Amino acid sequence: MQKCKIIDSQKRIINYRTNSFYRAIPADVASAHGYNASCIIYDELHAASNRNLFDVLSTSMGTRRQPILIIISTAGYDRNSILWEQYDYAKKILSGVIKDKTFLPVIYETDEKDDWEDEKVWYKANPALGTFRSLDKIRTLAKKAKETPTLQNVFRRLYLNQWTQQETRWLPI
């Protein structure tokens, strides 16, 4: 007996046992109203141009007894963004400034003062480096970033999870 049905055209998976479904939601905030989500996995929150979709989706879980919101993202550069707000809140929980049993922060990042060119610190942001993620590929990207300043912030944000001060740079600060 088939347990799930995959509907590619709707980007939906239906679970027959629980009478529930998973679906991909487009970034169009107008069409996101009215959901009653049990679980939301918001991938790459750093790319959100504003907080509107995040707010609509996170408040859609209000009637659920055990909702779960998972945010997966690399670092950004906009310290006025919804991701920075969530990141700052997570760091305050990790440091003990805020107590919130409903929020479990898990952050893999290199420290701000770490040398971004040092391979030893890359493992902080990439715990599966050498297993899941190719060390050779990251070495190649780091070498390009060292030689091309405009790639440096991209490397630091997307591979080391370091917050930068701007999207790209043309000179090292």
The token duo for 73 is 């993202």
Between β-strands 20-23 and 39-43, what pairing exists: parallel, antiparallel or unpaired?
Answer: unpaired
Q: What pLDDT was estimated at residue 166? A: 64
Q: What is the pLDDT of residues 32-65, one digit of tens each?
A: 888 889 999 999 999 999 999 999 999 999 999 9
The yes-or-no verdict on residue 128 having pLDDT over 80 is yes
The yes-or-no verdict on residue 170 having pLDDT over 60 is no
Q: What pLDDT was estimated at residue 43? A: 94
